[in-house]
Amino acid sequence: MKMKGWSSCFAVFAVAVFALVVAAPGQCAPPKKWDRSADVVVVGAGGAGLAAAVSAAEKKVSVIVLEKMPNIGGNTIISGGGFNTADPERQKRQGIEDSFEHHFQQTLAAGDFRADPEKVRILTHQSLDALHWLESYGMKFNDNVTQIYGALYPRTHNAVESKGLGYIKTLKAAADKLGVQIFTEMKVEEIVRENPLEGRVLGVRVTDKVGKTVYVQAKKAVVLASGGFGANKDMRALHDPRMRDLTTTNGPQATGEVLVQAMDVGAYPVGMDHIQCNPGAPPGRTLRVLLHMDTSRYILVNKGGKRFVAEDERRDVIREAILNLPEKFGFSVVDDVGYNFHDDIARKTVLKGVETGDAFTADTLEELAKKMGVPPDVFVETIKKYNEFVDAQNDADFGKKKHNLKKIEKAPFWSCFSGMSVHHTMGGLNINTKTQVLDRSGNVIPALYAAGEVTGGIHGANRVGGNAIVDIMVFGRIAGANAAQ
């Protein structure tokens, strides 16, 4: 009798658990009829999504791209646009020694060896191919490479067109030519899998701009390229509470719900507490002004007018240095040469910042200091000392590298607030080297691929500046090509 009662209780419990499982959010049952259909369905029309779509379409399959925002581009279109790769042709002209292996080793070390070495090797060793692939579609890059903020080495290729606009325009033109269908204001609500937590992925359930439910079938595969969660305060605070009240450099689309939907069908995330910050608007201010993109042309000073960190350090090191200041912000300072390094869009933002009080300019260092609210005598002495370090080719205070030591001496002088803004979420879905999404046991979820910031394990604890565009292009191409098979 006792055993019988236990068995009955267990049976009731099992039924209840089963009912919860089949009714859980994200366990979307296949529809009786699909409203749209394509061989490959790509979620997200940023750089990773468009790279995947073009790569898939090159294989002569039909492709649909679904974008929840009214416009395409994602974070790529508002990014700095730097693209890291060893490049024998461009670097040799500048006397720079480099290699894919050097890029690989630097990237692994910069992420504290928390990234998957196999994926890092793919990222770095296929980077030049990805650059040439973009160039084959008409993308233009400047002849000289630089070292942008957080890049660690002069291998950054800067697009001729401002920010990330050139990537999106190039890939959109290629997608149009190859017959890719792009639908905006189509928000993915659920991923459709054959059975709860098993079977292949069949497509997605979407809500269109008028609130109508649309089921989109993927005959071959779904590629998730929806970006990270940098604009989701609650989600980022869940993994690092310090991140809740910071501003963000991300667009409003970066809310991470597709990442959660993938988890609902069995995907497993990695590295979710690895959240990167970049100089941006401090809390209480809204305009992000950029004067830090060339590490050789700017310095950081605190409210006391003194430097406090090497400006070419890793991004996480600079993040901690700024967040540890009492005010939690410093100032980026350049001379007119440094100001003119920045592209048209960045310079226009600086001029706007001068009007709003987020940036400052003056013909003398003393006048600039007064506008910034820092002690003029200390600030002038800081610049003088720094320029002496440049002459000596030795930053005795913080160890900034020799090739990044250039004087601040040509008027007018410029500065802006540099707080910390959430910039990149390195954590996301675990994928293999084919970009197939993996479950908690490390098994492939059939017909589900992912690329870009929705994935994790590629950058480790810290992302090298200029590696994000490489990431989305290299792995976007792989995801699209494999999804099309």
Catalytically active residues are 315
Phi-psi region of 15 (alpha: psi -120 to 50; beta: other; left: phi over 0): alpha
What is the rounded distance in angstroms from the CA atom of residue 197 to the CA atom of residue 287? 44
Q: With H, G, I as helix, E, B as strand and everything else as coil, classify residue 162.
A: coil
Q: Which of 447, 483, 451 is nearest to 30 (CA)?
A: 447
Task: Give the position of tokens 């954590």.
Answer: 427
Sequence-distant (≥ 6) Cβ neighbours of residue 12 within 8 angstroms: none
Strands 444-450 and 213-224: parallel
Q: Write the DSSP symbol of residue 453.
A: G
Listing DSSP states for 249-309 in one string gives SS-TT---HHHHHHHHTTB-EE-TT-EEEEEEPPTT--------SBTTT-EEE-TTS-B-S
Phi-psi region of 309 (alpha: psi -120 to 50; beta: other; left: phi over 0): beta
What is the rounded distance in angstroms from the CA atom of residue 314 to the CA atom of residue 311? 9
What is the rounded distance in angstroms from the CA atom of residue 243 to the CA atom of residue 354? 27
CB burial readout 42-77, b (16+ within 10 A) else e: bbbbbbbbbbbbbbbbbbebbbbbbbbbeebbbbbb
CA dihedral 22, 23, 24, 26 (to 10 degrees): 90
State how far the alpha carbon of 93 is from the alpha carbons of 87, 88, 295, in Å: 10, 8, 20
Residues 271/427, Cβ–Cβ less than 8 Å: yes
CB atoms within 10 A of CB 136: 10
What is the rounded distance in angstroms from the CA atom of residue 68 to the CA atom of residue 46? 11
Tokens of residue 195, six digits: 């059975």
Residues 395/340, Cβ–Cβ less than 8 Å: no
Task: Give the position of tokens 């060339």.
Answer: 294
The residues that bridge with 300 in the sheet, in sequence order, are: 332
What is the rounded distance in angstroms from the CA atom of residue 186 to the CA atom of residue 308? 46
Residue 175 C-beta-side C-alpha neighbours within 13 Å = 27
Tokens of residue 430, six digits: 């675990």
Which residue type does 367 have? E
Inter-helix orientation angle 127-136/100-110, to 10° = 110
